[in-house]
A and B are shown apart, each in its own frame.
Chain A
Amino acid sequence: DVKVTQSSRYLVKRTGEKVFLECVQDMDHENMFWYRQDPGLGLRLIYFSYDVKMKEKGDIPEGYSVSREKKERFSLILESASTNQTSMYLCASSPRSWDNQPQHFGDGTRLSIL
């Protein structure tokens, strides 16, 4: 079974802090994704990566950066956290494929910025 593990289920940080959200997958997937989920807005893609050290901006990259130094690990970084970044963050992975493969998700991190 594919396992995507996010380092924290709940996280509380202060405005201006640098925040790291970690995600690890154990299925040797090439693709990894970070989404944020807000009520009424669904899931919105922040960044994705299709290879080590490669990254592509998603729909809402402002205020975020990412790091992928190893294939299994994809980190989301809030450079200077702000209250409007309070949200649920979901990490996902999938294999590279001509035929869409489903993305496998972690359990999510509910982040509160005070």
Chain B
Amino acid sequence: AQKITQTQPGMFVQEKEAVTLDCTYDTSDQSYGLFWYKQPSSGEMIFLIYQGSYDEQNATEGRYSLNFQKARKSANLVISASQLGDSAMYFCAMGDISNFGNEKLTFGTGTRLTIIP
């Protein structure tokens, strides 16, 4: 079974500072994928970034990067130069990619990020 742990229920960060949102995972699968989603107060889930377990480089997408440490089973999201619009819930999720047809995801409990002007 897969498990995702997000230990920070809430964070407050000053605007323009960098933010690190923690995510640790547990799985016995050899091949897996890790995702981060953003959920603003309006409710929609927005896909941010993806990292495959076989990827040697950390994923980056604009201001988002994923600090992937496979040995420590962590996949922290880093947001550079935070903006007021970054205030939202953030969810880490993982999926098993060794099993075609089993593309379901396991989600963490989320971190509520608030950016302070």
Known: A40-B109, A43-B107. A99 touches B33 (CB 8 A): yes
A88 interfacial contact with B, CB 8 Å: yes
Known: A102-B35, A104-B47. A58 touches B104 (CB 8 A): yes
| Binding stretch for chain B, among A12-20, A60-68, A70-78, A89-97 | A89-97
B103 touches A100 (CB 8 A): yes
B35 touches A41 (CB 8 A): no
Once bound together, how far apart are the Cα atoms of A60 and B103, in whole Å? 17
B52 touches A100 (CB 8 A): yes
A97 touches B47 (CB 8 A): no
Interface centre among A92, A96, A102 (most CB of B within 10 A): A102
The number of chain B residues touching the other chain, given as a range, is 20 to 34
Least CB distance from A45 to B in Å reads: 6
Once bound together, how far apart are the Cα atoms of A45 and B69, in whole Å? 27
Partner of A33, one of B6, B37, B44, B104: B104
B103 touches A105 (CB 8 A): no
B45 interfacial contact with A, CB 8 Å: yes
Which residues of A come within 8 Å of B, CB atoms? Answer: 9, 31, 33, 35, 40-45, 48, 50, 56, 58, 88, 90, 92, 94, 96-108, 110
11 chain-A/chain-B pairs, Cβ below 8 angstroms: A9-B43, A42-B4, A42-B107, A48-B104, A97-B100, A99-B97, A100-B50, A100-B52, A106-B44, A107-B42, A108-B44
